């Protein structure tokens, strides 16, 4: 892959569509973030990715800013989903259901 190909990012429309989809899921699930250790591991994984545009820390696959997207527990690497270590995630609905089922009764 040439230097020029590496620095090419998706169109503005594609980047906006990708970001909107990820942001919607993130908000819908209650805005969960990964741990500090997992965040650093995700950034480290991106550092060795051929699609990383290092000049602005943007993903060449989806166009998102890595420093933000890597924090969101609801997102995966757009190239290789297993590149980012997963954390067990409980959705907002599951959390509320669990909380409601464990509330002490009078």
CB contact set of 15 (below 8 Å; sequence gap of 6+): 9, 62, 63, 64
Instruction: Print pLDDT tens along the chain (106 aa).
Output: 444 444 578 899 999 999 999 999 999 999 999 999 999 999 999 999 999 999 989 999 989 899 999 999 999 888 887 788 766 555 556 556 656 765 555 5
3-state helix, strand, coil in the chain (%, to 5): 45, 5, 45
User: Please, where are the H alpha helices in the chain?
Assistant: 3-6, 12-28, 36-47, 66-69, 92-101
Cα separation, 96 vs 2, in Å, equals 49
- Residue 94: per-residue pLDDT: 57
Neighbours of 18 (CB within 10 A): 18
- Residue 93: per-residue pLDDT: 60
């Amino acid at each position: 892959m040439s230097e020029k190909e590496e620095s090419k990012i998706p169109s503005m429309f594609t980047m906006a569509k990708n970001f909107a989809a990820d942001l919607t899921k993130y908000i819908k699930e209650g805005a969960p973030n990964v741990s500090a250790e997992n965040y650093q591991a995700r950034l480290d994984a991106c550092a060795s990715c051929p699609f990383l545009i290092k000049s602005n820390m943007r993903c060449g696959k989806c166009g998102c800013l890595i420093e933000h997207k890597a924090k969101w527990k609801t997102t995966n690497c757009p190239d290789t989903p297993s590149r980012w270590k997963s954390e067990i995630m409980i959705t907002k609905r599951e959390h509320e259901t669990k909380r409601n089922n464990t509330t002490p009764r009078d």
